[in-house]
Amino acid sequence: MVFLIKSGEALETTHHVKTILFDKTGTITKGKPVVTDIILAENMDRNFLLFLAASAEKASEHPLGEAIVKEAEIVGIDLVEPSIFESFSGLGINAILKGTEVSLGNEEFFKQLNIDISKFKLISDNLASKGKTPVYIANDRIFLGIIAIEDTIKPASALAIQKLNKLGLNVVMLTGDNKLTAQAIANQVGITNVISEVLPQEKAYYVKMLQSKEHRVAMVGNGINDALALAQADIGFVMGSGTDIAMESADIILMNDDLQLLMSTIDLSKKTIWNIKSNLYWAFAYNMLSVPIAMGVLNIFWGPLLSPLIAGVAMSFSSITVLLNSLRLKNFKVK
């Protein structure tokens, strides 16, 4: 089994979808980010910065935080547990390490903290334009540097997006990442519409906004941040590596992380709906023709009169034809 469809309604709704929203991390990308660059402020030691950042992120469950911790472990840095840890969804984290405050987050988070990053803005934008996510670091509100983190795009993502575009669907990336990073990833996979820097609670709002324009909207995600949007969408797809809450909110679960399965579910939905319609048309046309004949209409015009046995067999043939037509779906192959 490669995908799990929770209901017949979900299969039917998929056929009517006109807009598909994609989360970025773990959906278009592999969801296994790694540290690629560390940019230091003046007189800052690389290992000390990594020690502060990784220790602060040790209590975090965010993929970016986990990437920083992993990098510190690879280098062999001994970390400490933060005495206080605060996470601000879509922005960053604050932690207290040995009495000092360590802050990590995006540009908006540092603006809220009144930490000046203007001298490193050009460097940050350059990293983001390459598809990397810049994470700013400060100690007691003093800027220390940037850790750039990159998440590799899944091999099948570009091909799946290309096929969706060919179907005439409106494909949109909906992500909390910064504008330059999101646009760089979107360009690589062929997505032209990007909504970036979206807080988790705002994703459902964008789904609702598209629905208000009479769009049937599908959402594809895999994390806790996507749960509300998955529930709001007309049809929610979640990747096999998704969180429990995301899987609970979704209508269709793709049992592995290959986006080609999304195309297979759309294809199955279209073929199923076509099969249902063809069965109805056939049954209607057959009965419109056969019932009057069984009633003896032909005999009125000096034609044959069907015996009850032949009429019964003829009616059974209608049901058998519908059944055989439906069984053709057993030959459906996942692409």
pLDDT 10s digits, 250-293: 788 888 878 888 888 888 888 888 888 888 887 777 777 776 66
CB 223 within 8 A of CB 240: no
CB atoms within 10 A of CB 149: 23
Q: What architecture (CATH level 2) is domain 3-30+153-264?
A: 3-Layer(aba) Sandwich (3.40)
Determine the pLDDT at residue 21: 94
Domain parsing of the chain, residue ranges: 3-30+153-264, 34-150, 268-331
User: Which residues are registered as beta bridge partners of 87?
Assistant: 93
**pLDDT, mean of each 10-residue run, the chain (335 residues):** 78 88 91 94 93 94 92 94 91 93 95 94 95 96 96 91 91 92 94 91 90 87 82 87 72 82 83 81 75 65 65 71 73 65
Give dist(CA 18, CA 171) in Å, integer.
9
Q: At what angle do helices 260-295 and 308-327 cross, to 10 degrees?
A: 170
CB atoms within 10 A of CB 221: 30
CATH homologous superfamily of 34-150 equals: Calcium-transporting ATPase, cytoplasmic domain N (3.40.1110.10)
Q: Which amino acid is at 90?
A: G
Q: Give the DSSP letter of residue 79.
A: P
Q: Which amino acid is at 171?
A: V
Enumerate the active-site residues. Answer: 23
Give dist(CA 12, CA 7) in Å, integer.
9
Give dist(CA 286, CA 264) in Å, integer.
32
Question: 3-30+153-264 and 34-150 share one CATH topology?
Answer: no
Q: For residue 149, how far is the Cα from the chain centroid?
A: 20
Q: Nearest-CA neighbor of 224 among 238, 210, 208?
A: 238
Determine the pLDDT at residue 1: 52
CB 217 within 8 A of CB 190: no
Determine the pLDDT at residue 41: 92
Determine the pLDDT at residue 242: 64
Determine the pLDDT at residue 304: 66
Burial of 277 (0-12, 13-18, 19+ CB in 10 A): exposed
